[in-house]
Amino acid sequence: MKTELVIDLEAEKQEILKRYRALLRASKSTLQRGDKKEIRKAFDMALESHKDMRRKSGEPYIYHPIAVAQIAAEEIGLGTTSIVCALLHDVVEDTDITLEDIEREFGKKTAKIIDGLTKISGVFDTNSSLQAENFRKMLLTLADDVRVILIKLADRLHNMRTMDFMPRHKQLKIASETIYLYAPLAHRLGLYAIKSELEDLSMKYLDPDTYKFIAKKLNEKKAERALFIKKFVEPIDEIVHEQGLVADVYGRPKSIHSIWNKMKKKNIPFEEVYDLFAIRIILDSAPENEKADCWKAYSIVTDLYRPNPDRLRDWVSSPKGNGYESLHTTVMGPRGQWVEVQIRTQRMNEIAEKGFAAHWKYKESTNDNGLDQWIQKVREMLNNPEANALDFLDDFKMNLFSDEIFIFTPKGALIQLPLGATALDFAFEIHTDVGATCIGAKVNHKLVPISYKLQNGDQVEIITSNKQTPKEDWLNVVVTAKAKSKIKSSLKEEKRKIAENGKEILERKLKSLKITYNTDNLNKLSYFFKLPSTQELFVNVALGKIELKDIKEYLSSEKEIETRGPERPENLSVDGVKSKIKGSESDILLIGEDMQRIDYTLAACCNPIPGDDVFGFITVSEGIKIHRTNCPNAAQLMANYGYRVVKAKWNKQQELTFLTGLHIVGIDDVGLINNITRVISTDFKVNMRSITVDTNEGIFDGSIMIFVNDTEHLENLIKNLLKVRGVTGVTRFDA
């Protein structure tokens, strides 16, 4: 038995060396004199530190740091310092090695990056605001060294690739966090290949059925698609070379997640998604010919195939904020199907695939760097001392996901804003004072209100008045994080002044009633008037909402009021509910049990029914809410409030019914509604709560709310509804 173990360890040793050599090959292009020695030293230190550790899969732990270093070198294109840091990214946290040891061996810069990585490693934190704080800390390191974030993304990508051995609830939490924060961050840093893979891997765990369904469908049509791409590409290839351009032309499949997004957005089945792949033309051009060559290739493609005029995107003349440059057009292919074509040079392609790292390499050749501006914006947001970590995350997330529009100032300067930005956003983008005093704007010389949504290419002039101050409802008008944080801090400052005033008034009133002005009494008053804080109490007094007679009323009931300071019901209830669940047979909440010891309700945002994959979420005031794991809000809840999530599964049901919605489309025909309702009520004995129908020029569009027993019951009903003559599509929808 013993010898077998030795052979085993010997085989592992060989595998570790094999992986190490692969890492050296991947980093070859960036290696300089003495670098190999540094990498070897880091590898030896990591190997020694992690020698007795194993991953959940049973593999030696050292596989993980080697893999992270490999991703950093190969897929992001980072250099020796980053490879060393990736190899050592877990040693300070998990072993006896200190930052001082690392600084002594590898220098200050490496120690600083590893310190940054150690500070943000709280993946499994139980507390949500801690998780948000960690993310915020990670962004703070953007200001110091962007490599911290790039290595963190490599670390997250490897964890996502090897998550099969983790318990389901951890898979859900990590996948939610990835789709909610890390994938948008990769997108923002221009790492498109990594962003797509993170989204696909998240979907694999959050919505496994849909993921498998789309993967299977893509696989079935693989050969057919390859043939179509070959025929489409051949004539382009030929003419491109005739015209003296050096180019690589090929087809690239779209990611499963982006196909699913399209299906949801357009409410269409898989068969109707036409752009399952994109054609790429990668040109080998000298820097001074790049733009001309891209347009030359565009002209070749559009001579062969008719373009859709609404679908031309020119990011060569105006690159995206993350440095992305490319020409995108959609053309009509030979079989009457739309095909997306992306045209770019090798330099542009490297920036699109490897983002930041490639960007730095080519920095001299780009005059205007959107990424630098973006980092500047992140710093501004982080320097706002008022922001609550979770508010900050939501604002930041919004800024990460949005597409950009380009707006011109009256003097012709170009300003980038997220899609959906308003005139007020533009005002705050120019200067905080301009935003705070904005009363309107002139867009293309026409007067518009502050809430006007800007369009790409608008020229905007802001009109201000020194009598204007920020209002509460402005928060609904703006979309940029900068504008939101400035408005919030301005309102807080305003509130603080009112509260100061209210404090003096209250002090005088309490004195006249011979009540001592102290913290205890202020807390009692806040509790009596159901206010969340003493500041709110002062504000209400200043605004005249609480008068002397109200305080007298408090006095008369004082005898019945128990003395209590402000409590944090949220944590009490979360811990209480969790211990209640843990006290039952297992720590899983069984839904549909007879023993209704724990209150739960089904979330209206996704209407879960038995058979759906679900989790419980402890709310502040409404007990536990049951959500589907693929609910539109699930990723946000699990990423931000992981500590409030409880595992849940359906118990064997008695015949209970659950409300869900069906969307039915078809060709309007005599008796169609009658046939649909007959299948629902007679054949399936299902009760309907409501039905709304709209017919427009022969097209039938109906929404029906029905009560079903479980997912199987619902699927059978959908199958039978699709057999009704005239019905072309039936989909379940979330209320």
User: Domains of the chain, with CATH numbers?
Assistant: 2-206 (1.10.3210.10), 216-365 (3.30.460.10), 370-488 (3.10.20.30), 569-650 (no CATH), 658-733 (3.30.70.260)
The answer on pLDDT for 293 being more than 80 is yes
The residues near 219 (Cβ < 8 Å, ≥ 6 apart) are: none
Neighbour-count burial for 676-697, b at 16+ CB within 10 Å, e otherwise: beebbeeebebeeeebeeeeee
What span, in angstroms and rounded, lies between the C-alpha atoms of 191 and 102?
29
Number of separate helices (H) and strands (E) present in the chain: 30, 19
Mean pLDDT of the chain: 82
- Going edge to edge, which strands form the sheet with 277-283? 247-253, 277-283, 338-345, 327-332, 313-314
Q: Residues 195, 196, 199, 202: what is their CA dihedral angle, to the nearest 10 degrees?
A: -100
pLDDT tens-digit map of 546-555: 887 788 777 7
The answer on pLDDT for 211 being more than 50 is yes
DSSP string, 260-307: HHHHHHHT--GGG---SEEEEEEE---GGGHHHHHHHHHHHHHHHS-B
H helix or E strand, kind and range, residue 664: strand 658-667
| Radius of gyration for the chain, computed over Cα atoms and rounded to the nearest angstrom | 30
What span, in angstroms and rounded, lies between the C-alpha atoms of 516 and 598?
43
Q: What is the pLDDT of residue 283?
A: 95
What span, in angstroms and rounded, lies between the C-alpha atoms of 641 and 322?
29
Q: Are strands 645-650 and 589-591 parallel, antiparallel or unpaired?
A: parallel
pLDDT tens-digit map of 72-85: 988 888 888 899 99
Q: What is the pLDDT of residue 2?
A: 45
Q: Are strands 600-602 and 589-591 parallel, antiparallel or unpaired?
A: unpaired
Q: Which residue has the higher pLDDT, 313 or 655?
A: 313
Q: What is the pLDDT of residue 690?
A: 83
299 pLDDT band, cuts 50/70/90, is very high
pLDDT tens-digit map of 477-486: 998 888 888 8
Q: What is the pLDDT of residue 70?
A: 93
pTM of the complete model: 0.71
How does DSSP classify residue 60? Answer: B
Neighbour-count burial for 620-639, b at 16+ CB within 10 Å, e otherwise: eeeebbbbbbbbeebbbbbb
Catalytic residues: 93-94
What span, in angstroms and rounded, lies between the C-alpha atoms of 211 and 258?
11
Contact yes or no for 102/88 (Cβ under 8 A): yes
DSSP string, 427-444: HHHH-HHHHHTEEEEEET
pLDDT tens-digit map of 53-76: 888 888 889 999 999 999 998 888
